[in-house]
A and B are shown apart, each in its own frame.
Chain A
Amino acid sequence: MRRALGSVAVCLLACAGAQAAVDAGPAAAPRLEFTPLQAGTYQLQAIQPVQDATLLDEHGHPVQLRALTRGKITLLTFFYSYCVDPLGCPFARETLGMLRDRILREGALAREVRFVAISCDPTTDTPNVLARYAQDVTGDSGFEWRFITARSVPALLPVLDDFGQDVSVDVDAQGRASRALHHMLKVFLIDPRGQVREIYSLAYLQPEVMLNDIGTLYLERHTSSSAR
């Protein structure tokens, strides 16, 4: 784990100069200068319910978002396969990869957690593209990490709107779309009933905290189950 974190830090340092050139903001990896609270010692508020939508899975089959955000603890993010921003999708993927490894070591927890990544660019990120991408990212871990797309941009827009996920495209002087896609990195923690319970933007994307938040939802579920 420490080695993995170290590799991320090295990557971020190496990429810092390039980042400064493309964005005016003082982009930086999240800092963790505190000891995270133990899982189960705090509450996560119900921020909003996830609305259902019909999307496409890695095999080109229609899939309901409801089915991907209920029944398990879900970490959901928006991405696109060709994103190269070191503090964008690749950073989220690296962070989620580390989390997945930690969760797999927890045994029982791994069966109750899934990751869902929805492409912001459904035409480029076809099911075939996503199937290859998924294989690269997830390997054969057996962990449920789904890569989802949509039939079209219009089919995707209600989902983006529901999550408040802004996506924009650079245009030229004539208003024609260029080749640059922007989105604010956010990862949504969703409980098994489909309620968003935490939202991590870059400043919040701290793996130790995320793991404890997942643990908090896990304990919440099992404590309430045993109470019944």
Chain B
Amino acid sequence: MRQSSQRAVVLASVLVCFGMALPSAFADETCNSPYISSLIKGQEDFVHVWTLGVEGLGDGSDKLVTIDANPASKNYGKVVDSKSVGRRGEAHHMGFTDDRKYLWAGGLDDSRIYVFDVGTDPSKPKLIRTIADLPAKTRFVGPHTFYALPGRMLIGNLSNTADKGGVTGMALYNNKGSLVTRYDMPTATIGGVKGDGYGYDVAVNPAKNVLLTSSFAGWQNYMRELGDVIKDPEAMKHFGGTMVVWNLKSMQPTQVLSVPGAPLEIRWSLAPGQNWAITATALTSKLWLIRQGEGGSWGASEVATIGNPAQVPLPVDISIAADGKGLWVNTFMDGTTHYFDLTDPEHPKETYHKKIGTQVNMISQSWDGKRVYTTSSLLAHWDKKGADNEQFLRAFNWDGHTLTPAFEVDFTKEHLGRPHHMKFTAKANQSRTLAALVR
């Protein structure tokens, strides 16, 4: 007790004269919730990869893999940590809490949510909590998007417990891991368009008080072999074709927009004065612009084609530049990344493309856009087979014209699994939490 008091006195003696608050930002690097603090505008130190376990490979479980991404480090490009969760549940996406100290990561199959402490020592994330009550408390299945709101996490889900189809909703948890409430995706007609009830991504524009959601497919489709789904006309009917505009304050849907072909990731351009978001449709291979009209209502329009839709390139992840003037689009089937000039968002223009591998899924860029990271896995049952089933993280440097390889990690050779979603962290070189200093 005495020691604590003495440390408190020492601490107090330094907490004088100067102080600053870390403001929340309007965008992360570059696709996270606008409510997340502590942007990494310089060099990221680590890339965390939420990785699907593969039976017979390593321990076969899902794991959070941490890779050193700082060229100045002796471990640059190497795996420095791997935290297994001890089971396989179709690891998929992650999201930081608003203070960026915790990373929530979900499993699309078992609907478990893992909370990792990445703030204390980002080189060694620590699993601090497992949330297993999502299906029981919400009747939703397949937690996909983890989107920070102040003090809480909004989770966009893919499916439901009743029929494991695509009708689903969102769940709101507080940062302590307790469910606050649930929201059904609309199935009624709103603004002349009938909701399909499907869900996928969620994205907020605070200045507009608008939440946008997109739509994909239920457990019955995403846990089935892709080849079987494509050959099954009935299954192909069960993909989302809508986006929903919500009043963020009331969490009531105000418009349903028709966006056929499974609109996936949503990226707002949050530059001042901008009033649009963009998405890519997986099945129809298009870019769609969601824009606010003169009267305040929102409209969706197809603005570009990605690759050759006849060959179903399957656009999956997208990553928008910090200034909203460029967009990376990964097409899974041909393993290619495309760069679109978004200077005129009504007319995106592809200016560059590069084949990354036999398959490619996620793409993340640093805030300055100079570093681009890609991973290979889409879903366990949708990845390619045999020699085409490359599993990697490939990092590149981008000079505005060409992607130059920086490093890569072979996730099969390293006995890790199928790498999917990525998030960046930086070492807390300059600061310690108040609690750590008192200890």
Q: Please tell me if the beta carbons of A43 and B250 are within 8 angstroms of each other in the complex.
A: yes
What is the total number of residues of chain B having a CB less than 8 Å from a CB of chain A?
Answer: 67
Tell me which residues from 17 to 57 in chain B have a Cβ below 8 Å from any Cβ of chain A. Answer: 17-27, 34-35, 37-42
Q: Please tell me if the beta carbons of B432 and A88 are within 8 angstroms of each other in the complex.
A: no
Cβ of B176 < 8 Å from any Cβ of A? yes
Give bound CA distance, A28 to B119, whole Å: 24
Known: A24-B42, A30-B206, A42-B249. A84 touches B20 (CB 8 A): yes
Give bound CA distance, A200 to B206, whole Å: 11
Q: Chain A residues with Cβ under 8 A from B180's Cβ?
A: 45-47
Q: Which residue of B lies closest to A171 (CB)?
A: B432
Cβ of A53 < 8 Å from any Cβ of B? no
Stretch in B4-12, B162-170, B335-343, B414-422 with 4+ CB within 8 Å of A: B4-12
Cβ of B101 < 8 Å from any Cβ of A? yes
Q: Chain B residues with Cβ under 8 A from A108's Cβ?
A: none
Q: What is the minimal beta-carbon distance from B153 to any residue of chain A, in angstroms?
A: 11
Stretch in A62-70, A96-104, A134-142, A174-182 with 4+ CB within 8 Å of B: A174-182
Tell which of A30, A84, A169, A178 has the most Cβ of chain B within 10 Å.
A169
* Partner among B15, B250, B435 whose Cβ is within 8 Å of the Cβ of A123: B15
Q: Chain A residues with Cβ under 8 A from B437's Cβ?
A: 169, 171, 177
Tell me which residues from 386 to 433 in chain B have a Cβ below 8 Å from any Cβ of chain A. Answer: 428, 430-433
Give bound CA distance, A32 to B205, whole Å: 11
Cβ of B209 < 8 Å from any Cβ of A? yes
Cβ of A9 < 8 Å from any Cβ of B? no
Q: Chain A residues with Cβ under 8 A from B152's Cβ?
A: 47, 199
* Partner among B20, B26, B434 whose Cβ is within 8 Å of the Cβ of A26: B26
Q: Chain A residues with Cβ under 8 A from B24's Cβ?
A: 25, 184-185, 201-203
Give bound CA distance, A147 to B363, whole Å: 47
Q: Which residue of A lies closest to B432 (CB)?
A: A171
Q: Please tell me if the beta carbons of B176 and A48 are within 8 angstroms of each other in the complex.
A: yes
Give bound CA distance, A87 to B275, whole Å: 24
* Partner among B17, B99, B438 whose Cβ is within 8 Å of the Cβ of A153: B438
Q: Please tell me if the beta carbons of A84 and B35 are within 8 angstroms of each other in the complex.
A: no
Q: Chain B residues with Cβ under 8 A from A80's Cβ?
A: 15, 19
Q: Please tell me if the beta carbons of A22 and B20 are within 8 angstroms of each other in the complex.
A: yes
Cβ of B14 < 8 Å from any Cβ of A? yes
* Partner among B19, B21, B176 whose Cβ is within 8 Å of the Cβ of A184: B21
Cβ of A223 < 8 Å from any Cβ of B? no
Using an 8 Å CB-CB cutoff, how does the interface string of A148-159 with B read, 1 for contact, 0 for none? 000011101100
Cβ of A23 < 8 Å from any Cβ of B? yes
Cβ of B174 < 8 Å from any Cβ of A? yes
Cβ of B309 < 8 Å from any Cβ of A? no
Q: Please tell me if the beta carbons of A31 and B272 are within 8 angstroms of each other in the complex.
A: yes
Give bound CA distance, A160 to B209, whole Å: 28
Give bound CA distance, A91 to B243, whole Å: 36
Q: Which residue of A lies closest to B40 (CB)?
A: A24
Q: Chain B residues with Cβ under 8 A from A84's Cβ?
A: 18-20
Q: What is the minimal beta-carbon distance from B10 to any residue of chain A, in angstroms?
A: 7
Q: Which residue of B lies closest to A178 (CB)?
A: B14
What is the total number of residues of chain A having a CB less than 8 Å from a CB of chain B?
Answer: 71
Give bound CA distance, A25 to B430, whole Å: 16
Cβ of B136 < 8 Å from any Cβ of A? no
* Partner among A23, A33, A171 whose Cβ is within 8 Å of the Cβ of B22: A23
Q: Please tell me if the beta carbons of A203 and B431 are within 8 angstroms of each other in the complex.
A: no
Give bound CA distance, A157 to B39, whole Å: 25
Give bound CA distance, A46 to B23, whole Å: 25
Give bound CA distance, A43 to B172, whole Å: 14
Cβ of B150 < 8 Å from any Cβ of A? yes
Q: Please tell me if the beta carbons of B14 and A182 are within 8 angstroms of each other in the complex.
A: no
Q: Chain A residues with Cβ under 8 A from B5's Cβ?
A: 152, 154
Using an 8 Å CB-CB cutoff, how does the interface string of A29-59 with B read, 1 for contact, 0 for none? 0111110110001110111100000000000
Known: A25-B41, A180-B19, A184-B24. A203 touches B101 (CB 8 A): no
Q: Which residue of A lies closest to B12 (CB)?
A: A123
Cβ of B247 < 8 Å from any Cβ of A? yes
Q: Which residue of A lies closest to B8 (CB)?
A: A153
Q: Please tell me if the beta carbons of B21 and A185 are within 8 angstroms of each other in the complex.
A: yes
Q: Please tell me if the beta carbons of A185 and B23 are within 8 angstroms of each other in the complex.
A: yes
Q: Please tell me if the beta carbons of B207 and A33 are within 8 angstroms of each other in the complex.
A: yes
Give bound CA distance, A176 to B119, whole Å: 19
Q: Which residue of B lies closest to A48 (CB)?
A: B174
Give bound CA distance, A41 to B252, whole Å: 11
Give bound CA distance, A186 to B149, whole Å: 12
Tell which of A28, A48, A196, A202 has the most Cβ of chain B within 10 Å.
A202
Cβ of A17 < 8 Å from any Cβ of B? no
Cβ of B86 < 8 Å from any Cβ of A? no
Cβ of A168 < 8 Å from any Cβ of B? yes
Q: Could you write out 20 A-B pairs with CB less than 8 Å apart?
A: A25-B23, A25-B25, A30-B207, A37-B247, A45-B181, A47-B180, A80-B19, A89-B19, A121-B15, A123-B9, A123-B11, A152-B5, A153-B438, A167-B434, A171-B430, A177-B15, A179-B16, A182-B19, A202-B23, A209-B209
Further pairs besides A123-B12, A157-B434, A163-B151: 16, Cβ < 8 Å: A23-B23, A24-B41, A28-B272, A46-B180, A85-B20, A88-B23, A89-B21, A123-B13, A124-B12, A154-B5, A164-B176, A167-B434, A171-B430, A180-B431, A181-B20, A201-B150
B interface residue numbers (CB < 8 A to A):
4-5, 7-27, 34-35, 37-42, 97-99, 101, 119, 149-152, 172, 174-176, 178, 180-181, 206-210, 247, 249-250, 252, 272, 275, 428, 430-435, 437-438
Please list the 8 inter-chain residue pairs (A to B) with the smallest Cβ-Cβ separation, ordered nearest first.
Answer: A123-B12, A88-B21, A42-B250, A31-B207, A199-B150, A24-B41, A25-B25, A199-B151
